Structure 1
Amino acid sequence: MTEPTTTQHTPVIPAQPGPREAADAAVAVQKEGSVPSREGDTAGAGERDVQERGATTGSVIPGAGPAGARPGERATLRLRDTDPEEPPRYAPEWLQLREPADADARAHELLDPLRIRLANLPHRSEGLIIHDIGCGTGSMGRWLAPHLDGPQHWILHDRDPYLLHFAAVASPRSSADGSRVTVETRRGDVARLTPDALTGASLVTASALLDVLTREHIETLAAACAGAGCPALLTLSVAGRVELTEPHEMDQEITEAFNSHQRRGGLLGPDAVTVAAEAFSAHGATVRLHPSPWRLGPGQAALTEQWLRGWVGAAVEERPELKERADAYLAERLEACAAGQLRVVVHHTDLLALCRPSDGAA
């Protein structure tokens, strides 16, 4: 992971556009190099553009395929090559496309034990301070803030200043009981996270992050949370299992090659949740795990298509000898997807780590 080049602390009162608008603006910045005016924006234009390109050209959303990935990076998130001295940038289009499926998949069963722990924190009446690590376009905040009561201040961490900007712009304004939600952004890296950086934190959260970390990064994260005495809710880590209908003889072969690809460069891929559970437990935390699968059907055809292309492409990158058979497999699966006949379950796991409060509170 890239060393953070700057740290910014920018309080923001969100103007409350939705995630679609933020992602559309992010795409415009990527293309034009400036933030577009909101006047004349057409709601849904970015989503339709994503769907139309997938339907008419068969192309992969920038960042949704394996091409151009560097060791230690997950290709499905890579936007484009950047200067080696700059942090990599990720595709807001891909993050936008997956956000509804992410929201549907996250484990609501972990919210009650989390709420109980948060209710018992010292100074709870003063509000929650929540750190979102690797926030991307801010989908975790848009999902979680409305599920928690009371005032909330979100601190958004990411290496990419573009994504930080749009995460702040599209952040929620109010919590479950109507209390105010505010945000600030910090450009940085999980590898540099320390207990001091989390001083006063009520909660650390992340989405689709653990599987793109190394063992060292996860141990750093667990130590920082334990040192600060705050719980961690870490969602949507890949589990290494996929189910497609109808079953095909290549399903398992592609899955195994993809999982190997996810482990390249020292990343943990589908092993990440187990490593994280062990790391948090070693620091005395109570750890709960719950499945959080994507369930994709005809209503998620655009996402399914892009996921398929990235999934098979990564498998072929890992095992080039699969290419000829994998191309035929992909064509067959894409035809079924376009016809509304394909259903996919992509398994993930959510993790809640209830670290011991640093002051000994319950």
Structure 2
Amino acid sequence: MAGDGTEPEAGINGQDFGDGASGDAVPGDGAAGPVIAGAGPAGPAGERATVRLRDGGPEESPRYAPEWLQLRESADAAARAQDLLDPLRIRLANLPGRAGLVVHDLGCGTGSMGRWLAPRLDGAQHWVLHDRDPYLLHFAAVASPRSAADGSRVTVETRRGDVARLTPDALTGASLVTASALLDVLTREEIDALADACTGAGCPALLTLSVAGRVELGPADPLDAEIAEAFNAHQRRSGLLGPDAVTVACEAFAERGATVRVCPSPWRLGPDEAALTEQWLRGWVGAAVEQRPELRERAERYLRDRLAACAAGELRAVVHHSDLLALPRPAGNAS
């Protein structure tokens, strides 16, 4: 999830690390080009295509590693906005002819969203897990929850592919779309397509942990603001929305008649999260340096000092994210 959703970047002193706070990237391959894990591959010729893939080629290596996703899972779970669950539950409970929920999890990674959400919803659930990495899909399926809040059965299936755009029929039969750290690595056109698909199907969307572009570090350092500014610019490269994504998504869903709610979902990192904080710092600073190479010398000193404070249990970080719940009008309801 890098930098809240992008691919790994080459870091300071030649080290590779994910660029950040709210996406699913991890130190590792240093390959170039944004990746968006998500909604299932286009089928063979003659089958209905529900997903258009980004160009990248079948040999492109996976970008996300389970070690990073596991490292951040508890911070993600603590950050997600509980206040969005009641309006979501009310909407799902009133679905017409409901025999069970069908939930599409875009860019599922190791399945942390399902592990968090499925036990908080009542009723039978079938989760459709989408990711580009077959190993992550296997991990997500094996580690998925088996029962809902009321003890009803939870089942899963997996679909491999990278989502750039959902076609209007991609969500036929879906009760809910979920994703974590996805919006900030989309373009405006891709968010419009996602909003089109969800509102066209009358399908609610719970889109969590999108980078908000704000970081608070204590104790403060004079370079904090400059690193943050360079990181945010990195997140906006190549037409990606980065910290503007939630605002754009709110507008896109509202323009299509959906009711939209946004709640803060910050990571609050202290001594108990030192391992996560260390990896996040490396990615955050590394992305800033990639964006502004002239920062390198000062950034190396900054990172060294910050890592020492982290190891000593003296560093606190609040990494701001936002959760969005969009409730479209039910399909077929033009009012």
1:69 Cα deviation after fit: 4.3
Contact 1:130–1:152 (Cα < 8 Å) also in 2:
yes
Partner in structure 1 of residue 277 of structure 2: 304
Partner in structure 2 of residue 138 of structure 1: 111
From 137, 140, 144, give the equivalent of 1:167.
Answer: 140
- Give the residue type in structure 2 aligned to 1:232: A
1:57-100, Cα deviation, whole Å (9 max, x unpaired): xx7667535972423349xxxxxxxx843354111111111110
Counterpart Cα distance in 1 of 2:139 and 2:154:
16
Provide closer, same or farther for how the CA distance between residues 88 and 122 of structure 1 changes in structure 2, counting only shifts above 3 A.
farther
Counterpart Cα distance in 2 of 1:68 and 1:269:
20
Aligned length in residues: 296
Partner in structure 2 of residue 68 of structure 1: 30
1:195 Cα deviation after fit: 2.9
Partner in structure 1 of residue 124 of structure 2: 151
Where do 1:190-201 residues align within 5 Å? 190-201=163-174
1:111-165, Cα deviation, whole Å (9 max, x unpaired): 00000111111123x1111010111111100000010001000011112222111
1:360 Cα deviation after fit: 2.7
Contact 1:136–1:167 (Cα < 8 Å) also in 2:
yes
Are 1:355 and 2:316 an aligned pair? no
Look up the SS of the partner of 1:95 in the other structure: helix
Partner in structure 2 of residue 330 of structure 1: 303
- Give the residue type in structure 2 aligned to 1:116: I
1:211 Cα deviation after fit: 0.6
Contact 2:17–2:283 (Cα < 8 Å) also in 1:
no
Contact 2:17–2:28 (Cα < 8 Å) also in 1:
no
Provide closer, same or farther for how the CA distance between residues 322 and 66 of structure 1 changes in structure 2, counting only shifts above 3 A.
farther
Partner in structure 1 of residue 314 of structure 2: 341
Bigger shift: residues 65-74 or 137-146? 65-74
Determine what percentage of the aligned residue pairs are the same residue: 76
Partner in structure 1 of residue 52 of structure 2: none
Question: Structure 1 regions of 5+ residues with no counterpart?
Answer: 1-58, 75-82
TM-score of the aligned structures, taking structure 1 as reference length: 0.78
Counterpart Cα distance in 2 of 1:127 and 1:87:
37
- Give the residue type in structure 2 aligned to 1:329: Y
Look up the SS of the partner of 2:326 in the other structure: strand
Provide closer, same or farther for how the CA distance between residues 166 and 65 of structure 1 changes in structure 2, counting only shifts above 3 A.
closer
Partner in structure 2 of residue 219 of structure 1: 192
Counterpart Cα distance in 1 of 2:226 and 2:28:
17
- Give the residue type in structure 2 aligned to 1:264: R
- Give the residue type in structure 2 aligned to 1:321: E
Provide closer, same or farther for how the CA distance between residues 263 and 67 of structure 1 changes in structure 2, counting only shifts above 3 A.
farther
Are 1:120 and 2:82 an aligned pair? no
Question: Structure 2 regions of 5+ residues with no counterpart?
Answer: 1-14, 19-24, 37-55
More helix by share: 1
Look up the SS of the partner of 2:170 in the other structure: helix
Counterpart Cα distance in 1 of 2:309 and 2:33:
33
Contact 2:17–2:282 (Cα < 8 Å) also in 1:
no
Contact 1:88–1:159 (Cα < 8 Å) also in 2:
no
From 152, 156, 180, give the equivalent of 1:183.
Answer: 156
Provide closer, same or farther for how the CA distance between residues 116 and 64 of structure 1 changes in structure 2, counting only shifts above 3 A.
same
Contact 1:65–1:314 (Cα < 8 Å) also in 2:
no
Are 1:261 and 2:234 an aligned pair? yes
- Give the residue type in structure 1 aligned to 2:93: A
Where do 1:315-326 residues align within 5 Å? 315-326=288-299
Counterpart Cα distance in 2 of 1:67 and 1:341:
31
- Give the residue type in structure 2 aligned to 1:118: L
- Give the residue type in structure 1 aligned to 2:74: P
From 206, 230, 247, give the equivalent of 1:233.
Answer: 206
Contact 2:17–2:286 (Cα < 8 Å) also in 1:
no
Contact 2:186–2:245 (Cα < 8 Å) also in 1:
yes
Counterpart Cα distance in 1 of 2:140 and 2:60:
17
Counterpart Cα distance in 1 of 2:294 and 2:88:
46
Partner in structure 2 of residue 24 of structure 1: none
- Give the residue type in structure 1 aligned to 2:219: E
Contact 2:171–2:197 (Cα < 8 Å) also in 1:
yes
Partner in structure 1 of residue 80 of structure 2: 106
